[in-house]
């Protein structure tokens, strides 16, 4: 049962909450801000209902004290109609929502359920992010040789930068694992990691997969589609088997990297994007350049920091290949 702390000096309001909510929530009461802060520290509630106008310490002061101790706990302000402006100021100061007195009890119940549900979802998302970060930590890449230790050191050094990285090595050396380690150990960890295998998608579909398309751009384009560059905004885009890109795709990727802008297929508007690109290949790109199959300017753009992976880089317990 979720615990709610009610901080309100009006006995009638406390009784209303007690009678209406006691079957669904465990209730703790306080009659002013000072007592409310103390009860918050003792009771560890899941949500706080906080009145604005109270003796000794008002709701704004109590809000600031509670927020200094806990940035996440949901707080709903209780206010009379004449103090709505102050309630809006309270939201700017960190409250999640407010109710005006006299309030509808069914509306109150709905707001409590919604706010607690949102908080539970936030906790679940944070737990999943933490688990993913642990999974792709350095300790989950197996290897103790000098070569693999050099890879670890390079990952640590460049993970939290904006620099483009090129992963080199044979298939089966864990290039996608290293790309995820770079992402989840960077400041972009809470934003998307998008991966695309450039060799697995037909050339005719690859450009729209990367950059998206507008409705009507071609026969089957029934609606707008958002591409991987746009989906990965503020995150990381992993281009596996980058040597397999067609010349038109190479040119468009080069422009996106240089200008941080691109257009969807069939579109005319430039879309800004903040994406870190990590590329990977098992081919000799310099040889591909000599054969005219890979753009030299794109090579220098993605090869800012090369990392060569020896064959024995793999994920602990779970074998992965790039």
Strands 97-101 and 75-80: parallel
Tell me, yes or no, whether 19 lies in a domain. yes
Tell me, yes or no, whether 224 lies in a domain. yes
**Residue 126 reports pLDDT greater than 80:** no
- Tens of pLDDT along 303-315? 999 988 876 544 4
Task: Record the pTM.
Answer: 0.56
CB atoms within 10 A of CB 40: 23
Range of the domain at 11: 3-132
Say what the pLDDT of residue 164 is: 92
Total domains, the chain = 2
Same domain, 30 and 112: yes
Same domain, 193 and 123: no
- Tens of pLDDT along 127-147? 655 555 555 555 555 454 456
**Beta bridge pairs of residue 272:** 261
Measured CA distances, 92 to 85, 199, 232, 274 (Å):
11, 49, 30, 28
Same domain, 126 and 145: no
Same domain, 181 and 311: yes
Same domain, 156 and 97: no
Tell me, yes or no, whether 321 lies in a domain. no
Same domain, 229 and 311: yes
User: 132, 152, 185 — which closes off a domain?
Assistant: 132
Tell me, yes or no, whether 97 lies in a domain. yes
Query: Is the pLDDT higher at 135 or at 254?
Result: 254
Same domain, 182 and 275: yes
Same domain, 127 and 156: no
CB 152 within 8 A of CB 141: yes
Same domain, 86 and 164: no
Per the structure block, which two tokens stand in for 139?
């300790």
Residue 118: which pLDDT band, with cuts at 50, 70 and 90? confident
Tell me, yes or no, whether 320 lies in a domain. no
Same domain, 125 and 217: no
């Amino acid at each position: 049962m979720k615990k709610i702390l009610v901080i309100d000096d009006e006995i009638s309001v406390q009784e209303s909450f007690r009678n209406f909510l006691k079957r669904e929530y465990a209730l703790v009461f306080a009659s002013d801000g000072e007592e409310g802060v103390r009860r918050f520290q003792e009771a560890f509630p899941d949500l706080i209902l906080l009145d604005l106008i109270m003796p000794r310490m008002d709701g704004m002061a109590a809000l600031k004290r509670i927020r200094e101790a806990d940035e996440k706990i949901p707080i709903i302000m209780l206010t009379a109609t004449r103090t709505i402006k102050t309630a809006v100021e309270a939201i700017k100061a960190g409250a999640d929502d407010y109710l005006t007195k006299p309030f509808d009890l069914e509306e109150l119940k709905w707001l409590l359920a919604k706010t607690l549900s949102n908080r539970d979802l936030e906790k679940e998302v944070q737990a999943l992010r933490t688990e993913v970060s642990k999974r792709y930590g350095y300790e989950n890449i197996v290897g103790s040789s000098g070569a693999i230790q050099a890879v670890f050191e390079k990952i640590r050094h460049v993970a939290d930068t904006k620099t483009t990285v090129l992963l080199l090595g044979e298939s089966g050396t864990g290039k996608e694992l290293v790309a995820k380690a770079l992402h989840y150990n960077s400041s972009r960890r809470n934003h998307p990691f998008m991966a695309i295998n450039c060799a697995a998608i037909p050339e005719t579909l690859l450009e729209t997969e990367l950059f998206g398309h507008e409705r009507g751009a071609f026969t089957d384009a029934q609606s707008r589609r958002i591409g991987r560059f746009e989906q990965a905004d503020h995150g990381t885009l992993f281009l596996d088997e980058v040597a397999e890109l067609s010349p038109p795709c190479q040119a468009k990727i080069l422009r996106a990297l240089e200008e941080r802008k691109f257009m969807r297929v069939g579109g005319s508007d430039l879309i800004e994007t903040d994406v870190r690109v990590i590329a990977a290949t098992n081919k000799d790109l310099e040889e591909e350049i000599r054969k005219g199959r890979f753009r030299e300017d794109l090579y220098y753009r993605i090869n800012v920091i090369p990392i060569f992976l020896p064959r024995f880089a793999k994920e602990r317990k779970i074998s992965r290949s790039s």
